[in-house]
Structure 1
Amino acid sequence: MAHGSSSVFNELRLKEELCDAVIRVQNQDFHVHRIILSGCSEYFRSLFTLSHPADQVYQINQVSPYMMRVIVEFAYMGSEEVNQQNVEELYIACDFFKVTGLMDACLRFMGEHLSKENCIDIWQFTETFFCQTLNNDAFHFILQHFTEVCASSDFLNLSVQQLLKLIGTDKLLVRDERTVFEAVLRWIDHSPEERTTYISQILPKVRLALMTPDFFMTNVRNNQMLMCDTECRDTLFTAETLFNDGIVCLPGIYHPLARPRLPASILLAIGGWIEYAPFATNAIEAYDICSDCWVNITNTEEAPRSQQGTVFLNGSVYCVGDHDRFEPLSNVRRFDLTTHTWHQIVPMKTWRWGVSITTLNGLIYAIGGYDGQNRLSTAECYDPESDQWMNITSMHERRSYASCTAFQGQVYICGGFNKENFLSSAECYCPETKVWTQIASMSISRYGLGLVAFEEQIYAVGGSNGDIILNSAEAYNPQTNSWHTLTPMQSPRNNFGFEVLDGRLFAIGGFNGYSYISDVESYDPNTGEWSDVPDMGICRSGLRCCVISGLTNMADYAAPRYSSLDYPDSTSYVSDAYYETLQLCLRL
């Protein structure tokens, strides 16, 4: 209905002119035009069609006068009076009257206002009314925020089936399995007489062997409620055996009590140069921190790349800049992590190789680089919404193979090479003022370094000073505009990946002065120490990394998690020794 027409019909309704029906709700009358209500509601269309032509007053008992007013105003004006207080009641009324347009508005409102406070309520509500898409969204939201949500009062009102569905999935996001165990105890304590009977069903869903042995022995093994149940005692004995015997599992195969849940974030290592090979690689490896291993997820249809900039934004990975063996390129490729497809997007305004890339406030910044003739001081930013690149103010220095990061609303860039010198200088860009400001220089020149922001500092590690490959590390404090020295890495490395994952800083691959390497190490800011991480499957330099998160299909990029119930039937072609080990891993 055109806006002008709707205004005219609504004015006629308000004046009770040309109305041919009255909807009566609790002694309140709504004078309406049958044709208008029939246009938005199957219920009223059937009511008016099947009723006697002489009927004019229709008594409606299923809703309040307020709800009927909202529905009538939607029918005439398309107005959506949806808010936190009325959305569920309104949806129920619209479902009864089959007002699909307003039902969609209610679902849209609930989806846009999904929060830690209402996610369980919305999950249960949409389960009752078979709203599958929003139900899935609410379920995923609970899994992603379980630590906070399990402390709410709504959590205590879950059915046992709903609780089992939550804690039984690998997608449940928790840093420590004790969170799950304590949530289960709290749920049972809310109604112990009824819920204690379910404990033998619930306990096997808790990954007991992922707890620390101390917590398990002190808080789980000695729990009187569990020890009084025969099936629970058997489950506890199995978990204790896993702690004591340390049953060795084959890659990807876990005992159900020891199977890692999916990580909140996964680190991707993309492209790079392979030693002794004439070209770059298209290899992509994913590091699953919960399984502590790398997984090859290479898309064979994608072209090889190296020295590109790589960032994660809005569910996609962007690879910015590259070269085709002969000259730098301005091309930009976007990998949709949900559909597993690559897309070519609008290229940068300038060819850039060895470019520095970061994201800030939903924009991608591409800074410096090499265009085939000159080291660049120019910079530009990309807006995914408009699909356009825009030039921004140039830096003070020309820089290629520098590194940049976003921190506290500004973009910081450090080091690099300007054709004559390897640089220790650093500067930051403020998008609000569009000005680059020089900051304190690093203690040493760094080319091909790693740079990340974490908590209150910016970390610069490795690289080359033109003479040697470095393992040194330092951190910048913006409050004091000063750098201080950190514990050096175990291995020197240049042109490597450097990212923050789960509160640690990861240095991945690179060139150590003699060869391309696959080794990985991580830095714990709390202890100030570096520790070994499993190697990648490929030795490479010039790779770029990013961390992905918040995906509903995170399992697509994680290590496989098989158990006795879902392990593929491959015994027909595995060795006897492998099969025996498999049975040991899967024994219950």
Structure 2
Amino acid sequence: MASKSTTNLSSLHSVGVLCNLDDLRKHENLCDVSLCVGGCQLSAHKVVLSACSPYFKAMFTQDMAEKNQSYVTFHCVNVDAMEMIIDFAYTGKLQVTASNVQSLVPAACLFQMHLIIDECCQFLESQLHVNNCIGIWRFAYDYGLIELTQVLFKFINQNFEEISKLDEIHDLPVKYLIKILSSDDLNVSSEESVFQILESWIMWDVEARKINLPRLLKCVRLSLLSATYLRRSSLLNSLISYNSLAWDIMHSSVQGELTLDQQHVRPRCAPKLLCAVGGKNGLFATLSSLEIYLPAKNEWKSMAALPQPRYECSAVVADRKLYVLGGIVCEPYKQHSNTVVVWDPDKNNWIKSVGMLKSRSSFASVVLKGEIYVLGGYDGESYLKHVEKFSPRKSTWERVTDMKQTRICFSAAALHDCIYAIGGYGPAHQDSVEMYNTTTMHWQMLKPMLNKRINFGVTVYQDSIYVMGGHSGTAHLRSMEKYDTEKEEWELCNSMRRPRTGIGTAVIDGKFYVVGGHSGHEYLNDVECYDPGDKTWERCSGMNSARCAFGLVAL
């Protein structure tokens, strides 16, 4: 009987072929090219080099002069790096070290040998430290190592406060400094830290660097700095007299007259934690507690309590501080309030801010271009369509164009210089939506939601507005719907795990967090998280206290 046996020997065969080819090279048998580098001649086979490198393949197979040459000279390649590349071509073996990586990367990039490039990148990433990250980043950036550059830049952003204390930051060419200081993700305690780096970098070589002052000032979020702080900058005040453009930028900032493209009002660094504050967890139980959620640890931590218990309040983040506005304050007696208190996360304390023009509860608030807008609500006597805004920089409130409809128990969102007032009650359950254009200062009605909702959550993500939960007037809701601002259409999304009203919602790292509320049967402390990528909900660690009608923000 005939039999057949098939065995895959490709791996053994490949190793054997490489060993034999390397042996031929070492004995200079059948070699057809010598690579001349740094006074040395390194023998090789064109076919082997071409099989490993697109650069050599093009050189030896296309109509290039080197195709028929036996000697090819390289002036810009390190001889040790060339030897390593040839060895790798014949053996597949490579040892990257701190002493050879800087010469190996340029050669590997030149010859387009991506396996070597990847190995070098992994080595450099493994060596990453605060003390060397700037130098490695510049090196990776110059050689177009995109993925490594992104990793390093993220590391620099996250550790900037520590890195900024090193002398190496002062040796940066201006193009690198501009890239760092322009980053939205720069992890700094305040914009003053960024401004101080600008000053110290200029001071390192004043005469040579003062010409860069206007470009660098545009990287700083001047609107986040007080006029008093800017006036105290003796260095810049002395330099701007020599530069009219720098003087214009600084003068406009001090006078509060920056144009929109100069304002840079968005604070640095994406939110890292949730803050849940106030609310109620019983018919007569009003809360003053503040707790924060750390997604990385999946845990809640109690912080300094509000000066007074309050519910049906609103909370926003401005200038990296938590603002809690209005609501019903229960001490010394129950009243609709216009008071505003501010929590400083660095000091874990509360201070009183300037009160709103109008007392209100069950209202909505948003932050746009660094200013806090409060909309609608109930003042104890009537439903409101009144809108006002607060400038943290000027510490002043001013009246803004009223909404078209009175609204309480509704939600608001800010997107693309516009404010959206959504749903609520006034005096019936609403599905209506209106939009305020901050440029034209006019409101216009938009397409209504698919469901009427009060006391629901809202988030903004990738040019869309998501609403979830709440109460329709007949039932507690667990549904979620999305408004596409370009298509001007609402569509249903995957529903939450359970119905809830009086909730808090926020976005961290592209995930929606829905917190607390009331299920119709009980006050809730549980948390759900939605991933818009895979469109799934999952449970997270619950708050220390159940709460409803409270403030929730990402900070």
What TM-score, normalized to structure 2? 0.52
Deviation at 1:143, TM superposition (A): 4.6
Q: Check whether the contact 2:454–2:471 (CA below 8 A) recurs between aligned residues.
A: yes
- Tell me: CA distance 1:428–1:540, structure 2 relative to 1, closer, same or farther (3 Å): same
The SS at the match of 1:377 is strand
The SS at the match of 1:378 is strand
Deviation at 1:315, TM superposition (A): 2.2
The SS at the match of 2:156 is helix
Deviation at 1:142, TM superposition (A): 2.6
Partners of 2:453 and 2:285 lie apart in 1 by: 25
For 2:523, give the aligned amino acid.
Y
Q: Check whether the contact 1:263–1:290 (CA below 8 A) recurs between aligned residues.
A: no
- The aligned residue for residue 295 of structure 2 is 289
- The aligned residue for residue 321 of structure 1 is 326
Identity of aligned residues (%): 29
- Tell me: CA distance 1:480–1:330, structure 2 relative to 1, closer, same or farther (3 Å): same
- The aligned residue for residue 505 of structure 1 is 512
Partners of 1:402 and 1:143 lie apart in 2 by: 37
- The aligned residue for residue 397 of structure 1 is 405
The SS at the match of 2:533 is coil
Partners of 1:440 and 1:143 lie apart in 2 by: 41
* Paired residues for 1:379-458 under 5 Å: 379-419=387-427, 421-458=428-465
- Tell me: CA distance 1:438–1:144, structure 2 relative to 1, closer, same or farther (3 Å): same
Structure 1 gaps of 5+ residues are 1-115, 124-138, 159-170, 174-261, 549-588
- The aligned residue for residue 362 of structure 1 is 370
Structure 2 gaps of 5+ residues are 1-129, 138-152, 173-184, 188-268
Give CA-to-partner distance per residue, 1:465-498, whole Å, 9 cap, x none.
Answer: 1111100110001111110000110011101100
Partners of 1:412 and 1:511 lie apart in 2 by: 25
Partners of 1:460 and 1:507 lie apart in 2 by: 11
- The aligned residue for residue 156 of structure 2 is 142
Partners of 2:358 and 2:510 lie apart in 1 by: 35
- Tell me: CA distance 1:335–1:172, structure 2 relative to 1, closer, same or farther (3 Å): closer
Partners of 2:512 and 2:306 lie apart in 1 by: 31
Q: Check whether the contact 1:426–1:438 (CA below 8 A) recurs between aligned residues.
A: yes
Partners of 1:283 and 1:141 lie apart in 2 by: 34
- Tell me: CA distance 1:477–1:172, structure 2 relative to 1, closer, same or farther (3 Å): closer
Partners of 2:306 and 2:436 lie apart in 1 by: 37
Deviation at 1:293, TM superposition (A): 1.3
- The aligned residue for residue 490 of structure 1 is 497
Q: Check whether the contact 1:315–1:338 (CA below 8 A) recurs between aligned residues.
A: no
Partners of 1:172 and 1:349 lie apart in 2 by: 35
* Paired residues for 1:416-565 under 5 Å: 416-419=424-427, 421-548=428-555
Q: Give the root-mean-square deviation of aligned CA atoms.
A: 3.1
Partners of 2:352 and 2:502 lie apart in 1 by: 25
Give CA-to-partner distance per residue, 1:360-399, whole Å, 9 cap, x none.
Answer: 0010000000000111111000011111111111111100
Give CA-to-partner distance per residue, 1:63-108, whole Å, 9 cap, x none.
Answer: xxxxxxxxxxxxxxxxxxxxxxxxxxxxxxxxxxxxxxxxxxxxxx
For 1:541, give the aligned amino acid.
C
- The aligned residue for residue 338 of structure 1 is 346
The SS at the match of 2:470 is coil
For 2:525, give the aligned amino acid.
S
Q: When the two structures are aligned, how many residues end up with a matched partner?
A: 307
Partners of 2:465 and 2:353 lie apart in 1 by: 31
Partners of 2:317 and 2:306 lie apart in 1 by: 20
For 2:158, give the aligned amino acid.
Q
Q: Check whether the contact 2:366–2:412 (CA below 8 A) recurs between aligned residues.
A: yes
The SS at the match of 1:506 is strand
Q: Check whether the contact 1:263–1:289 (CA below 8 A) recurs between aligned residues.
A: no
The SS at the match of 1:330 is coil
Give CA-to-partner distance per residue, 1:488-514, whole Å, 9 cap, x none.
Answer: 100111011001111111100001111
What TM-score, normalized to structure 1? 0.49
Partners of 2:271 and 2:548 lie apart in 1 by: 27
The SS at the match of 2:377 is coil
